[in-house]
Amino acid sequence: MKTRFNIIRIIFGAVFFNLTACEGFTEVDTPQSQLTTPAVFENVKTTDAAMADIYARLREEGMVTGTLNGLSSLLSNYSDEMQYTGSSVEIMQFNNHTITPSNSLITGLWNSTYSEIYAVNLMLEGLQNSKSLKENEKARLSGEALFIRGYLHFYLVNLFGDVPYIKTTDYSANKAVSKTAQEQVWLNIIDDVTEAEKLLTVEYPSQERVRVNKAAASAFLARVYLYREDWVNAAAKATSVINNPKYIWIDDISKEFLRQSTATIWALHPGTAGLNTKDARTFIFSSGPPSKPSLSASFTASFESGDLRRTQWVRTVSNATGSWYSSYKYKQPLGTTSSQEYTILFRLAEQYLIRAEANAHLSHMSDAKADLNKIRRRAGLGDTAADTQTELLDAIVKERRFELFTEQGHRWFDLKRTVKAAAVLSPIKPGWKDTQMILPLPQSELLLNQNLLPQNPGY
């Protein structure tokens, strides 16, 4: 039986190298003629266009898309950030912790992510074989591809545990692919992103911050090292980004998610001038009870008095029967004369929180407090009252909750890595089981490739 990777190869081979009117190409103003494999890598303009198409895929589907099917929505439902009263059985399974291996959203995350990884590997192989591109062009584009490969596997390992780490487009290698142990997946991620950091340029390869550069790789490594509890390297990488003059702290919280934000490290272009991020369309509603997921009442009630994030980043909709709350970090669900908001994947505030947590673990208490207080003061709050190391670590995790809500699953991943998920979620999630620290592997994939067995425990 053909595996998913064989199917991807056939489909992607037809699409990627025969692009006509592709949105990724229009974003970089390239010719709309049919392209063949050699033609893609004959000059930097067409190769850049192919790379732009990979970024467009990230925006449109998979882990970090801003739609209801992306992690910003699904993992906010899976954690304690959101509640759901709509009609989607699949989203309700996330909200209630009753996910089955046949859930189409699980299958979609898996398939789209491995399709994107396959595209990245095609890019890497094409760059390696190119005789036309300059070495500096190949290096920079390879850095982008390696970054994205590590980035996508980061989400896969956090969601599913042991997963295949795919580095090739070779059918004979992929047709019987098996799981890679989590520890090796993490090592592969670090290897890919460390190499990307070396190859990427200081300047962005695009006019805006919609493709990755060296600092984006450093920011990602800071996150990876934090998850790996490598506190020294997490603090060092975060510091390198914080000290980079390209990234400027914004004191006005209302401007944090605007397109021109100087605190943005990497964002996704909406695709066409005048469009705005999909996140706004996903989270904003105008009447209740909403058919979309809404912020849970317990979450919105947990903000400290005077927290500007509550007034600036949360929108209240009320009628005679009740009140509901939407994430309002992005405020433009419709098109505007010029685009005002892009989906932000890395921003400066997270780097301060990473460094604060790492320094707290290293017993650098004053440094950790200084970074935490920078976040709190911008939110209109007083300095932390935390005194001991335990208190400070708890305060940092709490601050992450209110700073990073509805952003690519940060809350769920924080609950998981700090071993707080069961304590927080078991009282409020009717279907909670301790095995739900990882999601089920898609049933369709296990039928296609039995080397992926066994199914994750509890499913």
Q: Any idea which of 31-40, 152-161, 271-280, 339-348 has the lowest mean pLDDT?
A: 31-40
* DSSP secondary structure code for residue 100 in this structure: -
CA 357, distance to chain mean position in Å, is: 20
Closest CA to 153 of 122, 190, 100: 190
The chain-wide mean pLDDT, for the chain, equals 92
Is 70 exceeded by the pLDDT of residue 4? no
Q: How far apart are CA 139 and CA 160, in angstroms?
A: 31
CA torsion sign for 236, 241, 244, 250 is: negative
Under the banding of pLDDT at 50, 70 and 90, the label for residue 297 is very high
Given this model, what pLDDT does residue 24 score?
33
Q: How far apart are CA 172 and CA 157, in angstroms?
A: 24
CA 273, distance to chain mean position in Å, is: 23
91: tokens are 């989203």
The CA-atom distances, in angstroms, between 251 and each of 14, 77, 254, 285, 331 are 48, 30, 9, 28, 19
Closest CA to 52 of 72, 35, 67: 35
Tens digits of residue pLDDT in 373-423:
999 999 999 999 999 999 999 999 999 999 999 999 999 999 999 999 999
How confident is the model over 108-125, as a mean pLDDT?
96
Given this model, what pLDDT does residue 34 score?
35
163: tokens are 């997963």
Is 70 exceeded by the pLDDT of residue 31? no
Given this model, what pLDDT does residue 28 score?
31
CA 323, distance to chain mean position in Å, is: 30
Domains of the chain (ranges; CATH) run 4-271+343-430 (1.25.40.390)
Given this model, what pLDDT does residue 2 score?
39
How confident is the model over 322-337, as a mean pLDDT?
97
Closest CA to 456 of 106, 175, 118: 106
Alpha helices of 161-213 — where are they, by DSSP H? 171-174, 182-199
Helix crossing, 135-160 with 182-199: angle to 10°?
150
Is 90 exceeded by the pLDDT of residue 5? no
Closest CA to 200 of 241, 124, 146: 146
Under the banding of pLDDT at 50, 70 and 90, the label for residue 97 is very high
Under the banding of pLDDT at 50, 70 and 90, the label for residue 174 is confident
Give residues with Cβ within 8 angstroms of 385, minimum separation 6. Answer: 391
Given this model, what pLDDT does residue 176 score?
76
Q: How far apart are CA 416 and CA 433, in angstroms?
A: 13
Give the global pTM: 0.93
How confident is the model over 58-72, as a mean pLDDT?
97
Closest CA to 55 of 281, 264, 343, 326: 343
Amino acid symbol at 385: A
Tens digits of residue pLDDT in 226-258:
999 999 999 999 999 999 999 999 999 999 999
